[in-house]
Structure 1
Amino acid sequence: MANLELINLRKAYGDVEVLHDINLSIADGEFIVFVGPSGCGKSTLLRMIAGLEEITGGDLMIGDTRANDLSPKKRNIAMVFQSYALYPQMTVAENMAFSLTLEKRPKAEIAEKVNAAAEALKLEALLDRKPGQLSGGQRQRVAIGRSIVRNPQVFLLDEPLSNLDAALRSETRVEISELHQRMATTMIYVTHDQVEAMTMADRIVVLNGGYIEQVGSPMDLYNNPASEFVAGFIGSPKMNFIKGPIAQAAGATTLGVRPEHFELGEGEGALQGTVTLVERLGHDTILYVRVPDIGVLTISLSGQHTQQVGERVSLRPNPQFMHKFDAEGRPISG
């Protein structure tokens, strides 16, 4: 296991700079998630740490070692990709053992490591099967197991759940989180899915346009976003943004209100609107309400509610949870 230090890391392709002065400290055993929209640089940054992309400038420290010029193998890092990249002609056990076999490790050592990884990933009953006989979730666990047997200092996972359906994504997400707790190994996980980021990370690194927008725990980012971008990216359903006279009256260019921070009913600051869509989730009810001069607002109500499309409703934002942003999208205190 190891801590990492990213010091003024830069990446450029010719004259085009895609990552700008990335500074980040990652503690030994921490679960870090890089999140952001497509093209923000999160996968490029992961590949730079892995040694698969050259570092244009700055320093990458793995433990006490400057790793910029180390080959991927010498960094003692394991990477799990979006595609499983398993050998179809090999069994699960053979796939997991492949790197150790290439290193000509003793057979007893290989068997011990493969069996330990299989137990951790609940793959014991599948060791004699081939990838074509496995589900997508099982194949992804085999790919993770292939990394575990190497006992790396750091695990890098690049959108590992993207190819799975919703149920398997949820199941495998829990398994990866449990695995991290058992192994206490440093993990860096890349995703565009903010739900994965919120549920898995010790800390989230939000990237936008090659810059770090904010670093913090999931609840830090949710409750205290450092920019309008972070406020809109973290949270599902997304934060509502209100501009115009209402925002100006509050001393802001934009007001941000999360869907759960609206209440139904008349009162001071109430907005009148018409329900355009209702999503009944059982545990929650999501209303989409069109308000004149503002647009459609998303409202999340706990439990089951009876509102119908076309119904007129009154909404009151809770002033205690309003977020104010200036013209540059930065938070305004007070």
Structure 2
Amino acid sequence: MAGLELKNLSKAYGNVEVLHDINLSIADGEFVVFVGPSGCGKSTLLRMIAGLEKISGGELMIGDKLSNALSPKQRNIAMVFQSYALYPQMTVAENMGFSLSLERRSKKEIAEKVHEAADALKLRPYLDRKPGQLSGGQRQRVAIGRAIVRNPQVFLLDEPLSNLDAALRSETRVEISELHQRMDTTMIYVTHDQVEAMTMADRIVVLNGGYIEQVGSPMELYNKPASEFVAGFIGSPKMNFVKGRLADAVGATTLGVRPEHFSLGQSDDAWEGTVTLVERLGHDTILYVKVPEAGVLTVSLNGQHDQNVGDTIYLRPKQEFIHKFNSEGRPIAA
């Protein structure tokens, strides 16, 4: 296992710089998630760590070793991609042990490592099957197992769940988190899905336009976003943003209120609105409410409620949870 230190890393393609002055320390055994919209540079940064993209500037330390010029193999890093890339003619066991066979390890050692990984990933019953006989989630676990048997210093996972349906994504997300806890190995995980980031990470790195916007624990980013961008990216349903008179009244350019931070009140000092859509989820009720001077706001109410389209309701933002941002999208201190 090893920690990583990224010092002023940059990446350019010709005259186009896509990553700017990236500084980040990742502790040995930490689970870090890179998150951000498409094109923000998160996968490029992961590939630079893996040695699949050349570093244009700065230093990459893996453990105590400067790794800029090391080949992917010399870095002792295992990478799991979005596509499973399994050999269809090989069994699960053969796929998982293939890299070890190329290194001419003994059959006994390969079998031991494959069985150990299979037990960790609940794949023991499927070792004699071919990939075509497995579900998408099982194939992704085989790809992860293929990485585990190499006993790498660092695991890199590039959107490994994006090809799975919602139920399998949730199930496999739990399995990867449990695997990290058992192995206690450094993992860096890339996703555009902030729910994955919030539920899996020790720390989240939010990237935007090739820059790091904020680094912190999931709850640090949720409760104290360092920018309007982070506030809008972290949280589901996403934060409501209000400009104009309602924001001016509290000394802000933009007022941010999370959907769950509204209470329903009476007309006094509340925002009057009309319900335009209701989503009844059982455990929660999501209302879309058109408020003059604020637009359509999303409101999340715990439990089951009886509001209907066309109803007039009164919303009161919970003062202790209001976020205020200046014209540059930075938070205004309370």
Superposed counterparts of 1:275-294, under 5 Å: 275-294=275-294
Measure the CA separation in 1 of the matches of 2:244 and 2:192: 31
Whichever residue aligns with residue 158 of structure 1, its letter is D
Measure the CA separation in 1 of the matches of 2:214 and 2:299: 26
Superposed counterparts of 1:1-334, under 5 Å: 1-266=1-266, 268-334=268-334
Residue 318 of structure 1, CA deviation: 0.6
Residue 44 of structure 1, CA deviation: 0.1
**Any idea what the Cα deviations from partners look like across 1:238-279, whole Å, max 9, x if unmatched?**
000010011111010000000010011116530001001101
> Are the counterparts in 1 of residues 246 and 293 from structure 2 also a CA contact under 8 Å?
no
> Are the counterparts in 2 of residues 269 and 317 from structure 1 also a CA contact under 8 Å?
no
**Any idea what the Cα deviations from partners look like across 1:138-160, whole Å, max 9, x if unmatched?**
00000000000000000000000
Whichever residue aligns with residue 231 of structure 1, its letter is A
> Are the counterparts in 1 of residues 222 and 231 from structure 2 also a CA contact under 8 Å?
yes
Give the superposed CA RMSD: 0.6
Measure the CA separation in 2 of the matches of 1:315 and 1:3: 47
Measure the CA separation in 2 of the matches of 1:293 and 1:319: 19
SS of the residue 2:96 aligns to: helix
Structure 2 segments unaligned to the other structure (5+ residues) = none
> Are the counterparts in 1 of residues 245 and 293 from structure 2 also a CA contact under 8 Å?
no
Residue 5 of structure 1, CA deviation: 0.1
Whichever residue aligns with residue 104 of structure 2, its letter is K
Measure the CA separation in 2 of the matches of 1:186 and 1:267: 53
Whichever residue aligns with residue 129 of structure 1, its letter is R
Q: Which runs of 4+ in 1 moved over 6 A?
A: none
SS of the residue 1:75 aligns to: coil
Measure the CA separation in 2 of the matches of 1:18 and 1:125: 45
Measure the CA separation in 1 of the matches of 2:329 and 2:222: 16
Measure the CA separation in 1 of the matches of 2:267 and 2:189: 45
Whichever residue aligns with residue 271 of structure 2, its letter is L
SS of the residue 1:150 aligns to: coil
What TM-score do you get using the length of structure 1 for normalisation?
Answer: 0.99
Measure the CA separation in 1 of the matches of 2:3 and 2:267: 52
SS of the residue 1:6 aligns to: strand
> Are the counterparts in 2 of residues 268 and 316 from structure 1 also a CA contact under 8 Å?
no
Measure the CA separation in 1 of the matches of 2:114 and 2:204: 31
**Any idea what the Cα deviations from partners look like across 1:129-179, whole Å, max 9, x if unmatched?**
000000000000000000000000000000000000000000000000000
> Are the counterparts in 2 of residues 267 and 316 from structure 1 also a CA contact under 8 Å?
no
Give the % identical residues. 82
> Are the counterparts in 1 of residues 80 and 147 from structure 2 also a CA contact under 8 Å?
yes
> Are the counterparts in 2 of residues 95 and 146 from structure 1 also a CA contact under 8 Å?
yes
Whichever residue aligns with residue 198 of structure 1, its letter is M
Measure the CA separation in 2 of the matches of 1:330 and 1:190: 25
What TM-score do you get using the length of structure 2 for normalisation?
Answer: 0.99
Whichever residue aligns with residue 180 of structure 2, its letter is H
Measure the CA separation in 2 of the matches of 1:47 and 1:251: 43
**Any idea what the Cα deviations from partners look like across 1:34-81, whole Å, max 9, x if unmatched?**
000000000000000000000000000000000000000000000000
> Are the counterparts in 2 of residues 201 and 217 from structure 1 also a CA contact under 8 Å?
yes
SS of the residue 1:196 aligns to: helix
Measure the CA separation in 1 of the matches of 2:133 and 2:215: 41
